[in-house]
Structure 1
Amino acid sequence: MRKGLQRFRATQLLDWVYKKGKTEVDEFTNWPKKMRERYSDPSVLGLSILPLKEKLIQNSLDGTKKALLELKDGELVETVYIPESDRATVCFSSQVGCKMGCNFCATGKSGFSRDLEAGEIVGQLYYWQQTKGLRVTNAVAMGQGEPLDNWDNFLKALYIINDADCLNLGARHLTVSTCGIVPGIKKMAKEPLQVNLSVSLHAPTDELRSQIMPINRRYPLKELMEAIEEYIRETNRRVTLEYTVIPRFNDGKTNAALLIALLKDRLVHVNVIPVNPQVGEDEGESLYHAKEFVNLIKPQLNVTLRRSRGADIDAACGQLRRKVLK
């Protein structure tokens, strides 16, 4: 980003890009004309955060917005803006598609194209903050892709998002979600930037988890829970575990008891999520089963029932991109 520039010029560059929302060097009026001409191609500066092109945007009745953004090579990536009374969260993607193949996820059904560059990751937040002029207070890596499978680019993006001269989001306002890449969780535990960690669990046993999450065959629950415990020891931070309730598969009394046995006395919080209904299915049924499961585990575990936002606009991960690509 700051390659080849004096420190004060680099500060001016960041101010123009991140504070004033300008990415055309011609607009940097406090730079001499010769300097603007020299750097007329922003890529010379390593300025990879060029505005991403809006391909499509959807607006939900609940205020949620979902954008499909076009990258420089024509690939498409999704990002979601979720406003609430006390915060405004951006859900962003880390890859085009995903390799992990979780069978309840729309992104996995579209296959994997490539990793996102750091600038393309940051560019999604920049789109909401600068292009759309919206307040952004929090960011969650819960969009397309597995962040810890794109470690170098993703880590660079996190530091840019956190940098006071850039997007200036505090570490406690950043959440990284992973399907359970054990080496990546261990790397995160050692990073100075201590963001929030969320792990997609979705089942209390290896037998069940391997059926819906192929990654479990590589990193089974014993290894995953050991990595989570290491993360908690190193950071003294609570870990969030995501549990999507799939009726008659991973819910009921037996699975509740197994989940309690797996998690009791650990510094974790469980987010229970109703599965997104398929076309023609009743949303009320998935919500009913999720509520029942919460009632079963609530006496023993810290748990929240999390309702999906933007159900009327394909806001779940990968839905919009998959629809457009069909």
Structure 2
Amino acid sequence: MTDTLQNDVLAALRDPGHRIPSAWLYDAHGSELFEAITRLPSYYPTRTEIGILDAHLPEIAAAIPANSLLVELGSGSSRKTVPLIDALHEPAGYVPLDISADYLADAAESLRARFPGLPVHPRVADFTADFDLPGELPAHASRLGFFPGSTIGNLDAEDARGLLQHCHGLLGPDSMFLIGIDLDKSADILIPAYDDPEGVTAAFNRNLLVRINRELNADFDPEGFRHEARYFETPPRIEMHLVCERTTTVHVGGERFELAAGESLHTETSHKYSLGAFTTLAAEAGWSVNNHWTDPQGRFAVLLMQATGSRYNPPVTPKPYRSHRP
């Protein structure tokens, strides 16, 4: 992981776009800060998605076969997972995947305590790169992918398609996929969600530099970078940046880099979809949308998709697509 982090940071600093994969925002402290972000008044996605799930879980669970193996990408604290497991009919087991090993271990133990009869098989994995399921899994009739939080929006269209294709092959032709997407809306709503007045997202973003310093023996000054959220209409998306406040020199992996005042590190992208656009993208990856649910304001959507069988042959090795957060 350290070698991969160094390679990604060096590649970003050498490239004029300075884009660092946002998966690296999620060390243990970064995961804690993100959980704090989800509870902020301005950050609507988490509570909106939870509201949709709470309102429609009986209908969702009724459409999912009994004895399904639940596979969750980017499980984090798994707090959306408990109600889903409660609603499913005789789930065969639960496989949470997350990049933060410590956070994943804590969440897995919590789930084992909450569901003592349910096999839980955590897997430390960066779902934005090549990944697989654990080798030993409980017997099951089918598989259900669960990808809440609109995390798929972190990926550009090509990479999102690649991830959905990889999941098609991983979960199998008889599988289903429950996924959350953030719908496009005005910048007046989006910008505060990613640049809260409390400064939690700014701390979350700057924590990336703290991690790079700690793990790569680099010398970034986190306080010398300003957090900034930017909205773009085509394609609809939010970008998070760390803007250099003054000309600075940093050293990483034995290399020296100079960043000018106003130059930024691009740390995250969150794409926003229309239902039609995402349905088309999913179909190109081998998934058909069986049903969808939204909140009354039309800010967020939860989609239940079905694998379309032999229409898609997944690649042996998917293209790496590195990002992590909604």
TM-score (norm 1): 0.29
For CA contacts below 8 A with separation 6 or more, give which structure has more relative contact order.
2
Find the structure with the greater CA-based Rg.
Answer: 1
